[in-house]
Chains A and B, each alone.
Chain A
């Protein structure tokens, strides 16, 4: 399999740093696929992206396209486009001047104008050719930067946190638009982000990176359902971890309820010594539930908050710890109160250890 991008055992080392920024990463992006590189800031994902683009020298390993190494090919001959977080539009050129910058047909006026118009249509900014880029809003700038990066028809598009500088509503809308544009143009893309929702919205596969190494590469659904390790689960937003008890062990009612719910849902065979990862919503406030019996699951409410109309409570649960539980809309209580809970297997994932 040597179709598309192959990064093999890539090492990127900075002169001042003791540990390498990228430490032996293997990653393949087949033609037509969009892969998100997801990780906390400083994990080396941007360094990997820059090394693929040719902007950072390789200290080890190789970067190849269709099986041919490009490690010695200068940046401008690689045919890899790059979109920066802040767009990096050329302030001394107008919108059309920016978009046309990388066009092969930029000297042919008619062909150039046609292609620029086509690209601006594609990113939803028709008719803005003569606009000064200084007058564009943040979202418009990124759309122009995207049109500019797509203009030379790059065989691979690298996106370095292209939406991080925007506010949340715009980010969510642009993430969907971005996905549509990449699919419509059949662009192969490697997309760096620290935002799980963004990665899941845009990518076919997500590669989770931490401390210079790849932890797991999987399709969004698989990644969420089967995180490979506690670190991956933590980064995806799983907030508590519970060891699976042995058959005869005496355990807290909440743990028992979780294991039962997971078994019923056929989540996975849970061997003793395995771990259950709990996302927000692993517990749900039982409507009209009143705590009382020794076998009932309950928790003490610490914080009550509203998330887009729904009520979410932070509860301390015996044997589990502090988790976010969902409550019905309009439900309320006072902090410090004890509430009845039930487990929901949909927000629980099994880890092998």
Chain B
């Protein structure tokens, strides 16, 4: 039987790839170009402008600004404080978070889902609210005023741990949930004690997840702004608050630019560590499938007992106490208990042009715009990065895109806001002064929210077996239909969660917004900060009430979106 077909194959040099045709190629080009253009105009451009101001003076390269800024003892103090508080905050979050991850993801007990939702609350709270909550607890006359922690380094570190505890719990817990329990059972059967199993089997397996969470926490701690600004007063600050102070108080733009560069170096270093750890996590995760590994808590077992005690103390003392105290204090007025502070939200306070309610309206409107922008840009990035192209150069380009869009997560929001301020009078040389446009605030908030969207949607898209797309194509589905019926259908719930995170992040964004919000249209976090800066019990009371309002708004939004999430699927956070 002749097996050679009738036609002779033409000699070829290039491998022939039967792709999706010209339409698909155009689609992918747009999917890459839109986010890149957004990032270039609204992130790289402004940040480069700032960096340029540190290096260039009178049109020439001038590193004199560095020498000047680094010869100030104040600079070294701020850098030292930044690294010290970030390190301590990270260590604290990991030490408390790992037992929490065990209890919330490896054990079963009544109310576990509610507790999981509760520990997430601090993470989505606006930084200003976290600062206000801790201050109202530690201030003279506050519940823990006797400890003398108000305005101390310890208070800042505690607030940072409060804020970042959820990152460790969710990242490490998500991995722990999927570890194959039979490895541990094998170790037990070989005669290892529960502690030895934990030390020699479980924790090494969780290593990448812990490293990934720790580097993210370090990043958030090192760039913390609102919390530190509210709690640190004049004595303690981070590079981030120092940039703000140099810009708004001392009007020393060159010093601010130099500090932005310093911040950028720290962030890039932390991000590259995070990226490597994350890659290892994702590789490791493919080894084990999701398993039903949760078992009831057994208080007689020492591992469980330690986890229960540590988590109970953390949740009760560190997480719940400041929040409950904030709500209670917001109802205390100079004339006794009541809702007067909340009534005050309806009228403009002190010298402010608007009431807190109006500011809340501005916040929500801005956050809606920011969320839409972040979802489009972040969704496209996640889609592109989730693909594993054939060629090595293309694969490297995709990995680079991933890292590039993580940058806004760590690059100081203050730097972004400041950069907008100095570059948006004529973006890309086009003489359109965007600085007076309210859209600018939404765009800045979207820049901050994009990495959250990417990190939430990407793991879900990556988890889609590529053969699902292949099988859809062999059933005759064109690339557009594959995208709609496979990728989008699977990612829908993750998109809901991303929407919640993006909205919460935009609602509470303070660093960039504090530069960009127009005086007559402040957002709620800006109003809270301004109220705090004014004397008088009424202003303080209104700040507390406004904080409760903002906290309720963000937590409520995330809670609704969290409900959309399918259990076991979704990003690490």
Q: Which residues of A contact B (CB under 8 A)?
A: 1-2, 6-9, 13, 15, 26-28, 53-55, 57-62, 64, 67, 69-82, 84, 88, 90, 92, 101-102, 104, 148-149, 151-152, 154, 158, 217
Contact = CB atoms under 8 A, between A and B. Distances in A.
B475 A152 contact: yes
B18 A62 contact: no
Contacts of B5: 2, 6-8, 26, 28, 62, 64, 67
Contacts of A104: 476
Contact of A88 (B7, B390, B471): B471
B6 A2 contact: yes
- Leading 10 A-B pairs by shortest Cβ distance: A102-B475, A6-B5, A62-B9, A82-B474, A75-B473, A57-B17, A57-B15, A2-B6, A54-B18, A76-B473
B239 to A, nearest CB: 43
B391 A15 contact: yes
B465 A57 contact: no
Contacts of B1: 28, 217
A154 B477 CA distance: 13
A241 to B, nearest CB: 28
B67 interface: no
A84 B392 contact: no
B470 A28 contact: no
28 contacts: A6-B3, A6-B6, A6-B7, A9-B9, A13-B15, A27-B3, A28-B5, A53-B474, A57-B18, A58-B16, A64-B7, A71-B16, A71-B18, A72-B16, A74-B18, A74-B20, A76-B20, A76-B477, A78-B474, A84-B467, A90-B468, A90-B489, A92-B489, A101-B472, A101-B485, A102-B475, A102-B477, A149-B475
B12 interface: yes
Contacts of A151: 475
B302 to A, nearest CB: 38
B3 A15 contact: no
Contacts of B478: 76
Contact of A8 (B4, B473, B479, B485): B4
A62 B8 CA distance: 8
A138 B19 CA distance: 32
Among B3, B10, B18, B21, residue most surrounded by chain A Cβ atoms (within 10 Å): B18
Contact of B470 (A60, A67, A82, A148): A82
A88 B467 contact: yes
B431 interface: no
Nearest to A84: B467
A90 B486 contact: yes
B141 interface: no
Among B3, B8, B10, B17, residue most surrounded by chain A Cβ atoms (within 10 Å): B3
A59 B18 contact: no
B36 interface: no
Contacts of B19: 74
B532 interface: no
Contacts of B473: 54-55, 74-76
A340 B470 CA distance: 57
A69 B7 contact: yes
B14 to A, nearest CB: 9
A64 B5 CA distance: 8
Contacts of A53: 470, 474
A69 B482 CA distance: 25
Interface in B453-484: 465, 467-468, 470-479, 482
B73 interface: no
B470 A75 contact: yes
Contacts of B10: 62
A26 B3 contact: yes
Interface in B474-529: 474-479, 482, 485-486, 489-490
The contact size tier of chain B is: 35 or more
Main secondary structure of the interface of B (DSSP, over half): loop
A58 B16 CA distance: 6
Among A62, A70, A152, residue most surrounded by chain B Cβ atoms (within 10 Å): A62
B2 interface: yes
Contacts of B392: 15
B6 A1 contact: yes
A101 B472 CA distance: 8
Given A58-B15, A59-B15, A88-B465, A1 B2 contact: yes
Nearest to B481: A76
B513 to A, nearest CB: 38
A76 B473 CA distance: 5
B489 A57 contact: no
Given A2-B6, A90-B468, A101-B472, A57 B16 contact: yes
Contacts of A9: 9
Interface string B14-33: 01111111000000000000
A80 B476 CA distance: 9
Contacts of B475: 76, 81, 101-102, 148-149, 151-152
B406 to A, nearest CB: 27
Contacts of B479: 76
Contacts of B18: 54, 57, 70-75, 78
Nearest to B478: A76
B22 to A, nearest CB: 11
Nearest to B486: A90
A55 B2 CA distance: 27
B476 A102 contact: yes
Given A69-B9, A102-B475, 12 more contacts: A54-B18, A55-B473, A55-B474, A60-B9, A62-B10, A74-B20, A74-B473, A76-B472, A78-B18, A92-B489, A92-B490, A101-B472
A268 B296 CA distance: 71
A206 to B, nearest CB: 13
A18 to B, nearest CB: 16
Nearest to B5: A6
A112 to B, nearest CB: 14
A86 B434 CA distance: 55
